[in-house]
Amino acid sequence: MPTDPRLTRHAAPLRALHWLTAIAVIAIYGVTYLEDLFARGTPERAAVWWVHISVGLLLIALVALRIPVRIFGRNPPASRQISRPMAIASHAAHGLLYVLLIATLAVGVYLAFLRGNAVSFFSLFTIPSPIAVNRDLARQVIELHEWLANALVVLALLHAAAALAHHFVMKDDVLKRMLPERLAP
């Protein structure tokens, strides 16, 4: 992934995809807490998973767009205002965020097919399942999906806290690199 030393912030498409991904991850995780508000078998409970799966498909599209943007787009080098060990650590954390995101999404789709859920995008279209329903296996896969989702959210929270610490404590340009010029000149 070549970098362009003239750039001091991430390209606009990557910034847009970053913030849309962050909002979608918070929404998809948050919506799972609504499940317990509704009794089993009610349409409201089914709607929770309809939203969860629909936002999941949206996230898959965001990540699928982001990978080529990241690989083939023009990227800035690491901030000159942070040390080399810090740049290596943040690079590793970003790599792990991508891995957890992709793994959670892939296991989520597999889980939906195993449970026999309709994998639909807000009922606009439905992806037919290529595999047979297997509720026993689904019970094990849900544990893996939940573990990956929790790891992703914990790491994203640490990542957000680090970004805020860079901005307000270390007062460097790390957060600005992910914001538009008119918000953070």
Distances (CA, A) of 48 to 27, 95, 108, 130, 151: 11, 30, 15, 23, 22
Tell me the CB-side half-sphere exposure of residue 170, using CA atoms within 13 A. 16
Query: In the window 51-90, what residues touch ligand HEM (CB under 6 A)?
Result: 52-53, 56-57, 59, 70, 79, 90
Query: In the window 21-50, what residues touch ligand HEM (CB under 6 A)?
Result: 21-22, 25, 28-29, 32, 49
Q: In this chain, which of 119, 133, 154, 168 binds ligand HEM, going by CB under 6 A? A: 119
What minimum distance in Å lies between the beta carbon of 138 and ligand HEM?
Answer: 8
What minimum distance in Å lies between the beta carbon of 48 and ligand HEM?
Answer: 8
Site pattern 120..149 for ligand HEM (x: CB under 6 A): ----------------------x--xx--x
As given in the structure block, the two tokens for residue 146 are 């939940």
Residues that bind ligand HEM (CB under 6 A): 14, 18, 21-22, 25, 28-29, 32, 49, 52-53, 56-57, 59, 70, 79, 90, 94, 97-98, 101, 104-105, 108-109, 111-112, 115, 117, 119, 142, 145-146, 149, 152, 156, 159-160, 163-164, 174-175, 177-178
